[in-house]
Amino acid sequence: MTNSFIQHHTIVQFPDKRELTPSQTHRRDHRIDALRGIALLMMFIDHIPQNILNRFTMRNVGFADAAEIFVLLAGYTSWLAYGRGFKKYGVIPTLQRIGRRCVQLYIGQIIMVMGYVVMVRTWRCFVDVPPDYLEPELTHGTEWVWRVLVFNALPSNLNILPLYIVLLGIMPCVYFLMQMHYLIPLVLSGGVWALINMNPVINFPNWLDPRGWYFNPLAWQFLFVLGLILSAKREQRGADFPHAFWLSGCCWVFLIFSAFQAFPWHLWGLPDLRPIAVEIPAVKTWLSPSRVLDILIVFYLFQTSAWVRQWATQTWSGQCIACMGRHSLEIFVVSMLLDLLARLLFSTFGEEWCLQIAVNGVGILCLILLASTLDRSRKLR
């Protein structure tokens, strides 16, 4: 749906198409699709608490997880999909495109919530399952319906699409600020993010949680804006992010440190090998600085790796993962419904290895087949 971070005294402008190579003007960056596909797979795995595979995902070996990938790439690809469109197609058509995308996201959110409620209530007609698959407010009555429709109630595991809608809503404002100077939205966005980190109680209301939205949009907008700026600067530069061995080395040192620091040693019954005994704040709701730094480093290493480029463009596995990333909304909606089904199966029939293998194997295969079908349909259109 990807150089240097900053160039001095620059207004975001579009390079002349004649100055770009054919690969830059016509080819999609499969690394971005592949990274988003990886994030979708990790979300599918992480949202099943009984899944043994979730012990090996990114959240256990670093401060950030798949949600940070998703939001950073949402900003990055929003520039590619809409940021360039303001100049190419005009303001009104581009705003209409953003509006249509928000409607698609909204429909996806409603499908997931209604699907959750119907599946859990139907399952309970035959099997007694624990009540934690739905917030108690959703297990009976209809008051929750209007609250869900206006995003006043965001159930657990189903709260990232409303965040995405809010972020897309502010995208035109960020774009026009970037036309004056990219530092203006960067400073404003960073200031709001810093304020929320100092005073986390500032949040959007959530009927299901007195603390507010799990993904506080006032904090997470910073990661989205960073993605927009990175994408715009790369396009302006007309080349990939520069690969510096010393910088890559520093990034790997930090990732190794974060892996040891964030690893759940107690869950594995292992001695605590954290370099720093004091826990480093990595709160997800208001996007702690450690999470921002972690995901920016992962993104930089992914985008500057020659091996990743080759894997994403020339291998079957890379293309399968990238195909999922190209259809992120459909894959996300279906994966969340599969997650609920898996949790119900585990609660009803146990967590034996055969069921673990079946749930993960069938679930991942379904997502790959869906992505492949959607890709063929897009090419035919």
For 135-165, the pLDDT digits (tens) are: 878 877 888 999 999 999 999 889 999 999 9
372, exposed or middle or buried, with CB in 10 Å at 0-12, 13-18, 19+? middle
**CB burial string 258-270: b at 16+ within 10 A, e below:** beebbbeeeeeee
Domain boundaries, the chain: 17-380
The number of residues making up the chain comes to: 381
Spatial distance between the Cα atoms of 311 and 315, rounded to a whole number of angstroms: 5
Spatial distance between the Cα atoms of 345 and 126, rounded to a whole number of angstroms: 13
CA of residue 151 relative to chain centroid, distance = 19
Tell me how many helices (H) and strands (E) the chain has: 15, 0
Amino acid, single-letter form, for residue 163: L
Q: Return mean pLDDT, the chain.
A: 88
pLDDT digits (tens, 9 = 90+) for 207-259: 999 999 999 999 999 999 999 999 999 988 877 888 889 999 999 999 999 99
pTM of the entire predicted model = 0.88
Please identify which residue in the block is written with the tokens 């967590």: 351
Amino acid, single-letter form, for residue 211: R
Residue 38 pLDDT > 70: yes
Residue 112 pLDDT > 90: yes
Spatial distance between the Cα atoms of 290 and 351, rounded to a whole number of angstroms: 34
What does 238-278 look like in DSSP terms, one character per residue?
TSPPPP-HHHHHHHHHHHHHHHHHHS-GGGGT-----SSSS
Taking the CA of residue 260 as centre, how many other CA atoms within 13 Å lie in the half-sphere pointing to its CB? 13
